[in-house]
Chain A
Amino acid sequence: MIILEACTVTKRFGGLQAVAEFCITVEERSISSIIGPNGAGKTTFFNCVTGFYKPDEGEILFKGQPITGKSPDRITHLGISRTYQNIRLFSNMTALENILVGQHSRLKTNLLDVLFHTPKYSKEEEFSNKEARRLLNYLGLEGQGDQLARNLPYGYQRRLEIARALASRPNLILLDEPTAGMNPNETTETMALIRRLRDDLGITILLIEHDMKVVMGISDIISVMDFGQKIAEGTPDEIQKNPKVIEAYLGRGSVDRFLNKPNTVITDQTVKEWNQ
């Protein structure tokens, strides 16, 4: 079943087409990636899906329902959640409170419940606290719940952002460079975590990632973006051999040299060597 379907999504900033007639379909319970050089429009596309930007053209369907132009909080209600490229936690709130805010759309206490501490209020607070602690534990953050988010080490902050995104019980989660700035160990752990999100919780994952090892390692399907357009789509194997992708990453002229070398594929290593 298709969970997210976007077609001919276009977003312009003045004369610049950040996203140009971009189409993507995401299968339920899949791990899909969007890759592309810096400035290709990947994050802008995420912002269109989550309602932060309203696309100038095109339509986005989530679970068959149009969500184009809906406000971010409505879209979160429907079951999409996200993390950010540069961590954006509520830094002066504790880790646990960050998760509690993530649960906001699922909680229902109103002003009167809060003022009079009705049974509904106590029940909901207790339940949401308990579940927030479970999420902390699930992400290996037990004991960190009372720390202010800004005091947590970098790796923990990344995980806390995922915990916060999970708190709304999303069906689809958008991860914007989840392994940015991580060491190889942390990267491997994060890859395992992303798989667990899919396998344990049945969450569909769409991610932006620059680390080729991660992209090639966990994606079922990869879309490649350049100058706002989709230039290729396919399985990791197909993408690694696609001349257009090689051109976008390594420049024109390198395609022949690259493809003639047997058994070479795009990895971080080859990108680095080629750029020297």
Chain B
Amino acid sequence: MGNESTTSKRQILSKSNLRYAITFIFAIALATLPMLNFPQTSYWVRVVGYTGLYIILGLGLNVVVGFAGLLDLGYVAFYAIGAYTFALLAGGHFDIHLSFWLIIPIAGLLASLAGILLGLPVLKMRGDYLAIVTLGFGEIIRLLATNLTGFTNGSQGLYNLDKPSLFGFILKSGTNFYYLIFVLVLIIFFVVNRLDRSRIGRAWIAIREDEDVAQMMGVNTTFYKLLAFAIGALIGGLGGSVFAAWQGSIFPDNFNLFVSINVLCLIIIGGMGSIPGVIIGSFALIALPDILREFATYRLLIFGLLLVIMMIARPEGFIPSRRRQLELHSKSNGDQTISSDIPGEEA
């Protein structure tokens, strides 16, 4: 028994070490990409940067759909809110020129407020009904952007937006934004990882598994669902601001339904609720179509086929979310023998 548990412990350790090693190498490789001197480097920097934006969106939507199990088909709304917040506060339209670093928290805050506003009426809805309402919400935001011409300049869009600056250094090249997105991904990755492994993450997953029982176990489902909407929306809003700053111009058409669908797809392909899954899923769904560009006309056909094969062969996603092993692998493990002990005496 003792032997078995030590060997299994060793295996787990080496497995998690391997995971860390892979993550580390992957991160280093991505960090050095723009420094390489290939003929097409700048093109790839753009593709991977764009993939990074989708990783941000994926990590945000994963909180809502993957953790809390709330099927949101209108996630693009928060992306749009973030983007328009930046465009209106850092451009010529109203001649307001706030700093990017000031707009980022404003955009996040506005988006999470919108998330709560969307969350409130749909608290009692589940599954398909929730999906339809959120789908409508996404469309409403896009239509507002198109039709509130005085405010958003309608389908003409907003352009000549300010470039962010950092200590006097103006971010304008693809590489600059690549690193901005890279850092943002790291921060969001870190945050959602911590959320996942906490009381808050457990409450979300309990809601996903069985909402009624979660509430019976003492989880304030109203609060945690709104929190999931708010945090998911906040991350989407951040992504939107960065997108607007990078592009320098935005149009209502940037925020159509397909953005929501793509983000949802990449979560499903990566593995629902799985954080590394979001990253793999983004590369598969956003970067891969660019790699397939050589096949020109057949590009989307091949891509669609790959998706279908993938979902048949591995329906749980590339990296299915795994629950953490806690019982035999956490630090304080000295008290295994007290089987007749009374719980509740100590506290």
Chain A residues with CB under 8 Å of chain B are 50, 52, 71-73, 76-77, 81-82, 84, 88, 90-97, 100-102, 104-107, 109, 111, 114-115, 117, 121, 124-126, 129-131, 133-138, 140, 142-146, 148, 164, 166-169, 200-201
Contact = CB atoms under 8 A, between A and B. Distances in A.
13 contacts: A71-B215, A72-B212, A73-B219, A90-B210, A96-B326, A97-B323, A104-B206, A105-B218, A117-B194, A129-B330, A137-B341, A146-B326, A164-B217
A73 B215 contact: yes
Contact of B202 (A82, A88, A104, A146): A104
Contacts of A77: 218
Contacts of A102: 217-218
Nearest 7 CB-CB pairings of A with B: A145-B327, A105-B218, A90-B209, A76-B218, A114-B198, A146-B325, A72-B215
A200 B340 CA distance: 10
Given A52-B212, A138-B341, 10 more contacts: A72-B216, A73-B217, A73-B220, A94-B326, A101-B202, A104-B203, A124-B199, A136-B327, A142-B336, A144-B327
A88 B332 contact: no
A78 to B, nearest CB: 10
B202 to A, nearest CB: 5
From DSSP, what is the main secondary structure of chain B's interface residues? loop
Nearest to A168: B218
Contacts of B323: 92-94, 97, 146, 148
Interface string B333-347: 001101111111011
Contacts of B347: 131
B205 A93 contact: yes
A201 B344 contact: yes
Contact of B332 (A50, A76, A130, A140): A130
A134 B213 contact: no
Contacts of A167: 217
Interface string B217-231: 111110000010000
A115 B205 contact: no
Contact of B210 (A72, A76, A88, A100): A88
Contact of A138 (B199, B200, B342): B342
B197 to A, nearest CB: 9
Give the interface residue-count category, chain B: 35 or more
Contact of A73 (B199, B209, B218): B218
A105 B326 CA distance: 20
Nearest to B195: A114
B214 interface: yes
Interface in B293-347: 323-332, 335-336, 338-344, 346-347
B232 to A, nearest CB: 14
A129 B213 CA distance: 21
Nearest to A169: B344
A121 B218 contact: no
Contacts of B205: 90, 92-93, 97
B12 to A, nearest CB: 10
B199 A107 contact: yes
Nearest to B222: A71
Contacts of A73: 215-221
A104 B194 contact: no
A140 to B, nearest CB: 7
Given A73-B220, A101-B202, A114-B198, A131 B335 contact: no
B209 A91 contact: yes
Contact of A97 (B216, B227, B326): B326
Contacts of B336: 133, 137, 142
B140 interface: no
B219 A115 contact: no
Contact of B217 (A52, A109, A168): A168
B191 interface: yes
Contacts of A76: 216-218
Contacts of B324: 94
B191 A115 contact: yes
A126 B332 contact: yes
Contact of A131 (B217, B219, B339, B343): B343
Nearest to B339: A137
Contacts of A166: 343-344
Tell which of B194, B203, B343 has the most Cβ of chain A within 10 Å: B343
Interface string B126-144: 0000000000000000000
Contact of B328 (A117, A124, A134, A145): A145
A200 to B, nearest CB: 5
Given A50-B216, A90-B210, A109 B327 contact: no
Nearest to B227: A111
A106 B332 CA distance: 20
A101 B214 contact: yes
Interface string B244-263: 00000000000000000000
Nearest to A133: B327
A131 B330 CA distance: 13
A146 B341 CA distance: 21
Given A100-B202, A134-B343, A137-B338, A90 B332 contact: no
Given A100-B202, A129-B326, A134 B217 contact: no
Tell which of B195, B217, B227, B338 has the most Cβ of chain A within 10 Å: B217
A97 B343 CA distance: 17
